[in-house]
Structure formats: structure tokens, C-alpha cells
Amino acid sequence: MDRGRSSAEEQPIPKQRIIKFEPDDPDNPQNWRSWRKLLAWLPIIPVDLCVSFGASGFSPATTKFAAAFDVSSEIAILGLSMYTLALAIGPMLNAPISEYFGRLPVYIISYGISLPFFIGSALAPNLGGFLVMRFLCGLFQSVTIANLGGTIADLYDAHHTGYPMSIFIWAATGGSSIGFFLLAFVAQYRPWYDVFWALLGICGGCWLIMAIILFGALYNGYLYGITFLLNGAFTLVFGAKGHGLDTLQVGLCFLGIAGGITIGPFTNIIQERYYQRRVRQANGANVPEARVFMAKIAAVAFPISLFWFAWTTYRSINPAVPVLATALWGWSFYTILLMTYTYTEDSYKRYAASALAGLGLIRNVAGAGFPLFGDQMFVNLGYQWAGSLLAFLALVLVPIPFILSRYGVELRKRSPWAREHMDELKGEDERDADGPDIEQKV
């Protein structure tokens, strides 16, 4: 042994993973057709506008907010300052995360996490809670500030970024004044908190436009959020303030959900037979889209069950009726959840652990966030309209399994991780075993 050499010098240098694009490689985003490049960044522009709306949209309501909380106008303006401060801090977190995981998942997940905080802002019981909600909302909304410029750089060479960057900067600078103008209509005629319900609708709609391939995480989080929200809602609907049942009887009402979930594995036999038939028709190829057959039925049944539950919560109606609605909800919940997991598992295969971890993140964030406003929502809106609000949100999600069934193959082709496991693309991404491996993520 050469005592003059350090132990560090004796260690082999770790091999780099490199995926290098050939000059005319069609998978290189800079070689995409113009329309495909536009589809990659243009849907993010309305989202970037909404980030500014979230800041300036509160400003028209500060006078009513100050009166409602009995604070000075200087204190009320903290609602703007906390959000803006979070926009400054957020990119320092979002930017490095996107470099590691890729930009699209961070766009979808971070912006999606921000949406419940609009609800928290509207329902905040005191100034401290409101300011926390505003800060967390801005922290996660800041994803476009961190990444949209990088997305454009991924898609265009240095000589052709001028036009898309001009649109990006327009959204970043013009959104503030446009947001004040739009939300002034709400602030003029409605209570201060309706500004945040309006922002939730605007930002949520833009998020759905932006979302391409992480529909499973959306469904997963919403489903689990409602599960934990119902823990409090059941106590209100069936307990002393509702049907007058005692604690044990309220507990028995949860057996409706448990019964519906228990039916799920039996109906999955139909789903599994359909899946195996599709696999045989495809000569054994990987067909994740065949996993969503029963989920289409469940997606329609899900909002039906929530409307059924909402409008049968009157004390004059036997409590068994809304419990039956929760049984249908439980079956829908199980079936859709099974779809999100099996579709993700089949699509990502050896990357499934990371993909499912993303589902778990959304699930638990929603599970933690929804109960914070669930009881207040049922008390303030009334049991019928609170349940209907959840049902209307579920209606928005109905198309997801239908979209995955129809366009799933094309969507999976756009994911570098899912594309590796598509039989029709097998071998395209083979790497040189002896050479470096550079990975470029869009």
C-alpha cells in the first residue's frame, strides 16, 4: 500500500448518470414542434397570473377585514405582506426541488397544496390564524416564480426565449393590477372572506388547466381529505346538534362507510377480469389504462353520494338514509383510490415507490388540512350546503378516469420515468453501460 496516498484517493470516483440528447433527438424539448412547446408552458401563464391575484386580490377587502377583526388598517395590510413575504422565500425552496424531481411534478403538487390555504384564509377564526394561512398559501403559490423561467429555458435555446419570456413577465407584472380590478367586484358587494372563495375558484380552475399527469395525486388527496373531514361532520350531523345520537351511536354511523369500502374488493373482481382481458388483447403488454374501468363508475357515484348525504341530513329524515349515502361514498372512495394506486404502480414500475410517496404526501397534507376547516364549514354554510360544496368539487374531478382512459398513453409518453416502461418505446432510452449518464429534466 502506498502510504503517500490518502484514503479518499483510493476510492473509485462514482459514475455519473447522464442522458445526453443527440442533436436531432425528438425527445429533446428544444426539438419539439412549436405547438408542443406552447402547450408545455402557455397553460402555466394563467397560474402565474393567479399568483399575483392572490396578493393584490386581498387589497380591496382590507377595509372590511379590518372592521370584522377590529384591527387597524395597518394591521389588516399584514394579510398582503405575509403572502408577499412568502412569495420571496418560496422560490428558494421550490427551485432546487424542481431541479431534482423535474418541474412538472413540482408545479402540480406545490400549487395544489396552496389551494386549501385559500379556504383556511376564508374561515380563519382570528388574525393569527389568518396570517399563518396567508403565509403558507404564498409559500406554495410561489412555484411559478421559481420555475417558469427555467421551463422556458428548457424548451428554447438562448436565441429564442425572448417572446415566451415577454409573456411570462407580462403575467408577473400585470397580474397585480388585474387581480385588484377583478376582486374589487367581489369586495364591493360581498363580505371580505368571499374574496378568498373567489380566489379558490379562479386559482383552482387554472390549476386544473395546468395539471397533465398527476391526476392520481389530486384524487388521492381530495379523497383522504374528505375522509378526515367527515370525522367532525358526522359528530355534527348525527350527534347532539343534529339527530341527537350519543357517541356510540355516532360511531355506528361510520359502519356505513366501512360497509361500502368492504364491498370494494368484491367489485374489484369485475375490474380485474376486465384488466386481464385487455392485457391478453394487447399480447401481454403493459396497459395501465385498463385499470380505470370501475373507477369511471365510481367517479360518477362519488358526487352523487355526497349530494345524497348532504340533502338527507335534516332531522326529519331517518338517519339511516344519509348512512346509506355514506356506504355508496365508501365504495366510491375505495374504488377510485385503488385506481390511483394501481395506475401509478403500473405506469412507473421501478419508480413506483417515489411516485406513491408523492401520492402519500398529497394524501397526508390534505388529511391534515381538511379537518381544520371542516367543522366551521358545516356550521357556517349549513349541513346541506357544506355537503353540496364537497359534491360540487367532486363533480370537477369526474372526468379524471375518463381522461386517463382516453389519453393515458400520450400522457405517459411525456413522463421520462413512465416512458421507460412502455412496451412500444422499449429500448429507446437504453444507456451506454460504460459511458457517463447525464439526465436533463423538463
Indicate which CATH number applies to the domain containing 131: 1.20.1250.20
Same domain, 102 and 151: yes
- In the chain, the N- to C-terminal Cα span, in Å, equals 46
Tell me which of 212, 246, 268 is where a domain ends: 212
**148-181 exposure pattern, b = at least 16 Cβ within 10 A, e = fewer:** bbebbbbbbeeeeeeebeeebeebbeebbeebbe
CATH number of the domain where residue 388 is located: 1.20.1250
Which grid cell sits at 364?
397526508
Beta-ladder partners of 17: 437
Which grid cell sits at 106?
413540482
Residues 198 and 190: their CA atoms lie apart, in Å, by 11
Amino acid identity of residue 33, one-letter, is R
Instruction: Read off φ and ψ for residue 71, nearest 5 degrees.
Output: -125, 165
In a domain, 169, yes or no: yes
* Domain count across the chain: 2
Write the pLDDT tens digit of every residue in 404-435. Answer: 888 777 777 666 556 666 654 343 333 333 33
In a domain, 390, yes or no: yes
In a domain, 240, yes or no: yes
pLDDT value at residue 158: 64
DSSP of 155-177, one letter per residue? HS-TTS-HHHHHHHHHHHHHHHH
DSSP of 207-264, one letter per residue? HHHH-SS-HHHHHHHHHHHHHHHHHHHHHHHHSTTTT---HHHHHHHTHHHHHHHHHH
In a domain, 1, yes or no: no
How far CA 264 is from CA of 222, 229, 270, 304, 391, in Å, comes to 19, 21, 10, 17, 21
Which grid cell sits at 150?
427555467
pLDDT value at residue 428: 36
In a domain, 50, yes or no: yes
C-beta of residue 48 within 8 angstroms of C-beta of residue 171:
yes
Beta-ladder partners of 438: 18
Same domain, 150 and 70: yes
DSSP 77: T
pLDDT value at residue 300: 94
pLDDT value at residue 143: 81
Tell me which of 212, 229, 258 is where a domain ends: 212
Same domain, 188 and 219: no
Closest CA to 395 of 324, 299, 331, 272: 299
Q: Helices 143-155 and 44-56: crossing angle, nearest 10°?
A: 160
Closest CA to 154 of 429, 438, 441, 411: 441
Tell me which of 180, 195, 212 is where a domain ends: 212
Same domain, 61 and 112: yes
**422-431 exposure pattern, b = at least 16 Cβ within 10 A, e = fewer:** beeeeeeeee
Same domain, 196 and 220: no
Same domain, 292 and 221: yes
Same domain, 32 and 49: yes
Return left, alpha or beta for 427; rule: phi > 0 is left, psi -120 to 50 is alpha, else beta.
Answer: left
Residues 29 and 27: their CA atoms lie apart, in Å, by 6
Let me know if 114 is exposed, middle or buried by CB neighbors in 10 A (0-12, 13-18, 19+): buried
Residues 358 and 431: their CA atoms lie apart, in Å, by 27
In a domain, 436, yes or no: no
pLDDT by 10-residue block (mean), the chain, 442 residues:
41 46 70 75 81 85 89 86 85 71 71 86 88 89 77 75 80 81 88 90 76 58 71 82 86 90 91 90 86 92 92 91 93 87 73 53 55 70 83 83 81 63 44 36 36
Same domain, 192 and 280: no
Same domain, 128 and 234: no
DSSP of 426-439, one letter per residue? TTTT---TTS-BB-
In a domain, 161, yes or no: yes
In a domain, 219, yes or no: yes
Same domain, 128 and 157: yes
Closest CA to 329 of 388, 379, 259: 259
Write the pLDDT tens digit of every residue in 289-305. Answer: 888 999 999 999 999 99
Amino acid identity of residue 237, one-letter, is V
Amino acid identity of residue 210, one-letter, is M
pLDDT value at residue 215: 57
Same domain, 111 and 23: yes
DSSP 61: G
- Quote the domain boundaries for residue 348: 214-413
Let me know if 295 is exposed, middle or buried by CB neighbors in 10 A (0-12, 13-18, 19+): buried
